[in-house]
Amino acid sequence: MVVLDSSTAGSPSASVDPSHAGAVGSGSLLSSPSGMVELDRVATEQAALNSKGYSAAVVDTILASRRNSTTRIYNCAWKAFVRWCRKRAVTPSRPKISNILQFLQDGRAAGLRSGTLRRQVAALSMVLGLQEGAPLSKHPHIVRFLKGAASLEPPPRHMFPTWRSGLVLSSLTKEPFEPIRGIPLKWLGMKTIFLVAVTSARRVSELGALSIDKELCRFRKSRVVLRVNPLFWPKVDSRFHISQEISLPTFFPSPASDQEREWHKLDVRRVLKIYVRRTASIRKSDSLFVFLSGSKVGEPLIKAAISRQVRACIVEAYRAAGALQRIRCAVLLRQRLSPGTPRWKRCAGQLRGLLLPHLSSITRFRNERRNRRPSGAEFCCT
């Protein structure tokens, strides 16, 4: 695919002269005449594969090797490179290593982090192929540049303490998060999403794919078993990750002391069952988590909304405990609090640490899942 320069795009006589198109060799692509650049990375890569004599089916299979999210990221990087080349009269399909290094340096000067620069190199290498006899990502100067960019990045400095899971969990056992049978749905929703996120330690995309369908959400006597929607495509798309169950055990189902009664208020099975029952009348979807107010009430919660609910729960828990200062509120809202991140896993570990001494069945559940785990060959992404 070629896009004409603005000076010729509207002219009916504007056309591509085949004599200007360069042959595709190892590590090069179809070049375009002056004033035209390849803006579509996928179409450019497809043209390069077609030039090698591959059938259309083979080309489609090769192009399907990357996920849609990766393709979008690579497309953005390629278009940024094309725009950079256009301003400097450089042919995007045949740049020099010095051009690529200057493009990366300009990006770094604009504030791009080393991880973003690495993704840009990966995107360019998919299109440009070999450069000076080596893959772009393996070129010694590119490798040293990326290493230097990582070394020059200042380490992150946390000026304020991160949120404390013990304080949040303690607040969830008091008002306004209790008693859950009578509190507004706003507080019940925040508490439910937070507890499921912490006890499962799953990515926010997986939380959004949970369902109340009776085959995907089963309440047992000692636990609740959740599974994601079969149509959901997880980030790691192996058979094990697609079919894996999320088993959340009960927490002091028969409390015998005041302390156990307080901890029972953190029982995710109890909270989740009441959440499903109280939201039944407003549901428009079988998604587990739904909007509880507004114009989208009853519709599935999107990933961003789930993350906002989790952050809001932490902030409100701090506010209920009287420990939330104005400046700390801003810090909490800016921290990476998405489910599935290392901080969530540490918090989940603390909560599970309270569960383990009292629920011997958890070890048995883990052993059963380990025995059902497929062979190593089935872990490979398709």
Looking at the structure, tell me whether residues 99 and 228 fall in a common domain: no
| Contacts for 179 with CB less than 8 Å, ≥ 6 apart | none
CATH number of the CATH domain containing 209: 1.10.443
Structural domain count, the chain = 2
**DSSP string of 103-127, one letter each residue:** HHHHHHHTT--HHHHHHHHHHHHHH
Q: Which of 106, 124, 152 is the C-terminal boundary of a domain?
A: 152
Q: Which of 152, 177, 200 is the C-terminal boundary of a domain?
A: 152
CATH number of the CATH domain containing 39: 1.10.150.130
Whole-prediction pTM = 0.56
Does residue 160 fall inside a structural domain? no
Looking at the structure, tell me whether residues 203 and 338 fall in a common domain: yes
Element containing residue 4 per DSSP (H, E): strand 3-4
pLDDT digits (tens, 9 = 90+) for 267-307: 999 999 999 999 999 999 999 999 999 899 999 999 889 99
Q: 68 is in which domain, residue-wise?
A: 19-152
Looking at the structure, tell me whether residues 137 and 251 fall in a common domain: no
User: CA 254, 258, 261 angle in degrees (round to 5)?
Assistant: 40
Does residue 121 fall inside a structural domain? yes
Looking at the structure, tell me whether residues 145 and 181 fall in a common domain: no
pLDDT averaged over 10-residue windows placed end to end, the chain, 382 residues: 37 36 37 46 78 88 80 86 90 87 91 89 82 80 91 72 80 91 92 92 88 90 88 74 83 88 91 93 92 92 90 89 56 44 52 46 44 39 33
Does residue 8 fall inside a structural domain? no
Does residue 2 fall inside a structural domain? no
**DSSP string of 234-262, one letter each residue:** -SS-SHHHHH--EEEE-S-SS--SHHHHH
Q: Tokens for 23, please give them.
A: 């042959």
Q: 210 with 289: CB under 8 angstroms?
A: yes
Looking at the structure, tell me whether residues 135 and 183 fall in a common domain: no
Looking at the structure, tell me whether residues 91 and 218 fall in a common domain: no
Does residue 7 fall inside a structural domain? no
pLDDT at 349: 54
CA distance 373 to 382: 17
pLDDT at 328: 45
